[in-house]
Structure 1
Amino acid sequence: MTDRDTLRRHADLVDRMASTLGIDLQETAISGNVSSDEISDAVLRCTDCPNPDNCASYLARVHHSGLTPEYCRNQDLFARLTP
């Protein structure tokens, strides 16, 4: 997988996890509650995750859970942004 593909995959995982938690990242950024740099950092943290396949499986099974998996490297950010 190329670096570009890796970033796209993890950007999708971050966005899907946010959606599962009821967070609209675009709207949250527009309202000023998160910066584009924080979202970029979240994607980069996600690329360091050893469990992207597990995360993708989790997201395929769970809809609007309100919880992140314990291994999620963005738990703190998502907890801060969860409505």
Structure 2
Amino acid sequence: MQGKKTLDRHEDLMNRMATSLGADLDEAELRGDLTPEGRTDMLMACTGCTDPAACKEWLLGNGSADEAPGYCRNRGSLRELAQR
């Protein structure tokens, strides 16, 4: 089980990554494009990232982007949500 601090940090990174790609995770849930369980799965995938510091740096340098970096464990899911 992940600690609250870790979950909060990765939730922030995941939401910022989604925003940089043009995806709104809250809106996706409201539309039914993302289930609460799916969002939790994405968060758990994010907590398994081997380099969250690189993610943070990438986000600082990329206010908007077409693709998440190759190491992002949610790259495909975020791409799909951004295209809806």
User: Scaled by the length of structure 2, what TM-score is found?
Assistant: 0.92
> Could you report, residue by residue, the CA deviation over 1:41-79 in whole angstroms, capped at 9, with x for unpaired residues?
111101111110000010011011111010000112112
Answer yes or no: is 1:5 the counterpart of 2:5: yes
Which residue is equivalent to 1:67?
67
Specify the code of the residue in structure 2 equivalent to 1:20.
S
Answer yes or no: is 1:17 the counterpart of 2:17: yes
Q: Distance in 2 between matches of 1:5 and 1:22?
A: 26
Q: Structure 2: where are the runs of 5+ without partners?
A: none
Alignment RMSD (CA, Å):
1.1
How many residues matched? 82
User: Scaled by the length of structure 1, what TM-score is found?
Assistant: 0.93
**Moved segments of 4+, more than 4 Å:** none
Q: Distance in 1 between matches of 2:73 and 2:9?
A: 15
Q: Distance in 1 between matches of 2:37 and 2:66?
A: 24
Identical-residue share of aligned pairs (%): 34
SS in 1 for 2:23: coil
